Amino acid sequence: MVGSAQYTFWTDPDVSCEAGVVLAKVEVPPCEFSRSLRTLTPTLPPQVLLLFQVSGSGCLAQHDRSCPLYPGDWCLIDTGDRFDGSSLGDLSEYQILVLERPCTPDILALLEQGVARRFDSKAGMSRVLRSTLDEAFQQMNRLGGRSGRCLRKVITAMTWDAVREQLDAPAALGVHEIQCARLKRHIEACLADPDLCVESIAEACRTSVRSVHRVFAADAAGSVWKYVWKRRLRHCAAELRDPMQSHRSITDICFAWGFNSTSHFSRLFKEQFGVPPSRYRPASWLESGSANKDDVR
């Protein structure tokens, strides 16, 4: 279902499917992964993944948010947009529900607010949803078409009710999440500084270099420098697509966001977005001459 160039993400999934309800239990070895749809087609529409962390730990990131997951936690991922993640430890087990992507404005708003946020299933509708999915997985193959369709409607409604409940009363942040948020705020404020380093981050946030590395080892980026590069690349990508920035060269943009090597920037950009920065800009700008051309490929 999901993979990367280096890893097979879902390994030997145990799948139950009836009348549009798709449930899977998977075990994932330690890995890092990225996934994005390059082309949407009627036969491959975007879907929503609900992931329950059964055992082990992991981290998922989407829409510039990331959330660590521990047993009992769950989160949503929108497959219509790129997402990144990592599985930590020896082996992690997930229970996954595949949902149709909503089309009503109120539920789409819930999806936008809810992706890549850590929810817990200890109480309320989340606990009921988790129990329902456990039972549904065991009984799925015994359900007829009509029962399966009814179950799909019920589970879908429960999911969005659980998201709404969690957003209204979010799970309390732990020490790790608070520390991670503080580090990321400082990094975001200093992204354009080419001299940004782990030592300066640690000093500004009054922590140790070792603590900085430990916090980001549990992040979807995998390390503090990968996180910094990805944030810088996101800002560069946004400016490359911005008509108001079409007069600026690619070199100017990448240097303005803390890069000091065009070759390094170009290599990282292609790894992240699949195309070199020169091809990321709209072709119409290049044809009309409105984009500033330079030698970054």
Model pLDDT for residues 132-177, shown as the tens digit of each residue: 888 887 776 677 778 778 888 898 999 999 999 999 886 666 777 7
List every span in the chain annotated with CATH 2.60.120.280.
11-168
Kindly indicate the confidence band of residue 8, based on its pLDDT and cuts at 50, 70 and 90: very low
Instruction: Report H helices in the chain.
Output: 105-114, 124-139, 145-168, 175-189, 198-204, 209-217, 224-241, 250-256, 262-273, 277-280, 283-288
7-16, 21-30, 41-50: least confidently modelled range: 7-16
- What homologous superfamily is domain 175-288 in, according to CATH? Homeodomain-like (1.10.10.60)
pLDDT at 17 over 80: no
pLDDT value of residue 120: 87
DSSP category for residue 44: B
Residue % of the chain over a pLDDT of 90: 33
Tens digit of each residue's pLDDT (9 = 90 or more) over 76-119:
999 888 888 888 766 788 889 888 888 899 999 999 999 999 99
Tens digit of each residue's pLDDT (9 = 90 or more) over 194-235:
999 999 999 999 999 999 999 888 776 778 998 899 889 988
Phi, psi of 100 (to 5 degrees): -70, 140
Classified as helix, coil or strand, 143 is: coil
The chain-wide mean pLDDT, for the chain, equals 81
14-18, 40-44, 95-99, 193-197: least confidently modelled range: 14-18
pLDDT value of residue 19: 44
Where residue 276 falls (left for φ over 0; alpha for ψ -120 to 50; beta otherwise) is beta
List every span in the chain annotated with CATH 1.10.10.60.
175-288
> What is the number of other CB atoms lying within 10 angstroms of the CB of residue 183?
22
* DSSP one-letter string for 68-129: EE-TTEEEEEETTS-EEEEEEEEEEEEEEEEEEPP-SHHHHHHHHHHBT--EE-SSHHHHHH
Fold (CATH) for 11-168: Jelly Rolls (2.60.120)
pLDDT value of residue 39: 53
